[in-house]
Amino acid sequence: MHVLVVEDDAEVSQFIQKGLTSEGIGVSAAYDGVIGRSMINEHQYDVVVLDVNMPGMNGYDLCRFVKQNWPAIPVIMLTALGSLENKVMGFESGADDYLAKPFAFKELVFRLKALARRHPARAPLPQRLELLDLVVDTSSHQVWRADERVTLTAREYALLEYLLLRQGKVVSRAELLENVWDVHFNTNTNVVDVYVNYLRRKIDRVEPKLIHTIFGVGFILKAEP
């Protein structure tokens, strides 16, 4: 699940980001409404979390925009003002749910998961991904290879999960940058190669090798050579 958080207060935004990340939920952030809007146009999020009070474009307007252009994406509104008018405004602008600050963090997580389930923008992740003797538990982020527990960092895990989801298909570096690193423009980085190397060290020391390089194209995860 991947969530966009549109919130101008950097502290609040980071609090939400950290919290969701540690719950295993992917997060992108926009710090004002206009940027939020262009991010929504360019990527597919499962849920959008919107602060009401923002410079540029306020939460209600952005919510209306989402509902007009991407009606399938559910929206949760956040506001510091717990008054009735705000709730009404929130519903009027089409928000699917509403949370008044300060809120219990757990509540945000529950509501996010509930919305994502109700409006399944993408197929839900299987609880368990496998390829031969490589096993990944997507809920706890635990990984085994040949019956041995392997510990991965967050980035390594994200990369492996993505490769597993597209196992048997060639995946380009640009695709990995987009989906694992959230980098959408062409930078001159070899970070993908570095992390593929890390992954190989951790899960591909034994035979048969699962990660294969396709020269000039990208990588592929599969059992046969």
Q: Which of 197, 205, 208, 223 binds DNA (CB under 7 A)?
A: 197
CB of 105 to its own copies, least distance (A): 4
Non-local (6+) Cβ contacts of 9 within 8 A are: 51
What is d(CA 54, CA 35) in angstroms, rounded to the nearest whole number?
Answer: 11
**Residue 105 binds which of DNA, its own copies, none (CB < 5-8 A, kind-dependent):** its own copies
**Residue 102 binds which of DNA, its own copies, none (CB < 5-8 A, kind-dependent):** its own copies
Contact residues toward its own copies (CB under 8 A) are 11-12, 14-15, 18-19, 21-23, 84, 87-88, 91-92, 101-107, 110-111, 114, 117-118, 140, 153-154, 170, 172-175, 177-178, 184-185, 187-188, 215-218
CB of 4 to its own copies, least distance (A): 19
Beta bridge partners of 213: 219
126-165 binders of DNA (CB under 7 A): 153-156
213 touches DNA (CB under 7 A)? yes
Non-local (6+) Cβ contacts of 30 within 8 A are: 4, 5, 6, 7, 36, 39
**Residue 189 binds which of DNA, its own copies, none (CB < 5-8 A, kind-dependent):** DNA
Q: Which of 31, 45, 60, 195 binds DNA (CB under 7 A)?
A: 195
- Kindly state the greatest CA–CA separation across the chain: 63
* Structure tokens given for 175: 């695709």
Q: Are 120 and 113 in contact (CB under 8 A)?
A: no
Size of the site for DNA (CB under 7 A): 25
Whole-Å CA distances, 100 to 64, 111, 200: 19, 13, 45
**Residue 64 binds which of DNA, its own copies, none (CB < 5-8 A, kind-dependent):** none
**Residue 101 binds which of DNA, its own copies, none (CB < 5-8 A, kind-dependent):** its own copies
Q: How far is CA 13 from the centre of its chain?
A: 15
Angle between helices 59-69 and 84-92 in degrees, nearest 10:
20
Helix (H, G, I), strand (E, B) or coil at 6: strand
The residues that touch DNA, with contacts defined as CB under 7 A, are: 18, 153-156, 173, 181, 186-191, 193-197, 200, 213-218
